[in-house]
Amino acid sequence: MEKECDICKEKIKLKKIAKIRGKYYCKKCKKKLREQRTKETIEESGIKEELKNLERKMHRDYQREYYKQKQLIKPLKLKSIEIKPIEKRKQDIEYIPKIRGQLKKKLRKQNYISFQEKQLLFKSLIKRGFAYEDADERVKKLVRSQNELTKKLRKQNKPESEIKLKSQELLEKLWNY
C-alpha cells in the first residue's frame, strides 16, 4: 500500500512514510521540517548565543582532552646500539662477581617413585580387581615402605647404589604381586 507525501506529492510505501500531526511526510520532507522547527524554536526562545557559547566550550574541552592524551602517548625513541671496542670489553670481563648462595645441587633421590609410576601402579591395581580405596592405600604403603627402607639402609651406612638396588627390588615385587 502506498501513500502520498503532503508536501512533494510523491507516492511512497507506508513503511517509509512518517505521520506527523495527522499529515504524511516522506523522508526528505520530514528532515526539512525538523530543521525548520529547530531553527524556529532557537530564534523564538532567544538562546542562540547561549548555544554558540556551549558549542565553543565543548570544542575547547575536547581539544584540551585530546592534547592531554597526545602528551601522555609519546612516540618511542630508539637508541642506537653502541658496540664497545674489544679492549673495553676485556676490561669489563676482568671483574667477576662472587657467586653467593648454595653451590651444591641437591641430589634427587634415586629410589623416588614418580607421579606417573604411581598412576600406572594405581591403574594396574584397579584392573586386577582392587577397590579404589584399597588401591590408593596400597600405593601409599609402597611409598612409606620405600622411605623406611632407605632410612634403615642409610643408618647402616650402606652405599647409594645398594639402596637403589633394594628399592628397585621392592618395586618389582609389588608390581608382580
Query: Residue 103 CB: number of other CB atoms within 10 A?
Result: 6
Return the axis-axis angle of helices 132-155 and 115-127, rounded to nearest 10°.
130
Do residue 8 and residue 64 come from a single domain?
yes
In a domain, 104, yes or no: no
pLDDT of residue 101: 61
Report the 3 state secondary structure along 83-127. CCCHHHHHHHHHCCCCCCCCCCCCCCCCCCCCHHHHHHHHHHHHH
Decide which of 14, 42, 72 is a domain's last residue: 72
Domain for residue 29, yes or no? Answer: yes
For all residues of the chain together, what is the average pLDDT?
A: 79
* Burial degree of 125 (CB within 10 A; 0-12, 13-18, 19+): buried
Global model pTM greater than 0.95? no
Q: In this model, does residue 4 exceed pLDDT 70?
A: yes
In a domain, 105, yes or no: no
> Is 108 inside any structural domain?
no
**Could you say which DSSP state residue 46 is in?**
T
Instruction: For the beta carbon of residue 6, count every other beta carbon within 10 angstroms.
Output: 14
Contacts of 164 by beta carbon, 8 Å cutoff, 6+ apart: 110, 111
Residue 77 lies in a domain: no
- What is the percent of the chain with per-residue pLDDT over 90, rounded to a whole number? 9
Residue pLDDT, tens place only, 66-122:
887 777 766 656 566 666 666 666 665 555 556 566 555 554 555 567 788 788 888
Structural domain that includes position 120 = 115-176
Domain end among 72, 91, 123: 72
Number of compact structural domains in the chain: 2
Please indicate, yes or no, whether residues 119 and 170 belong to a single structural domain of this protein.
Answer: yes
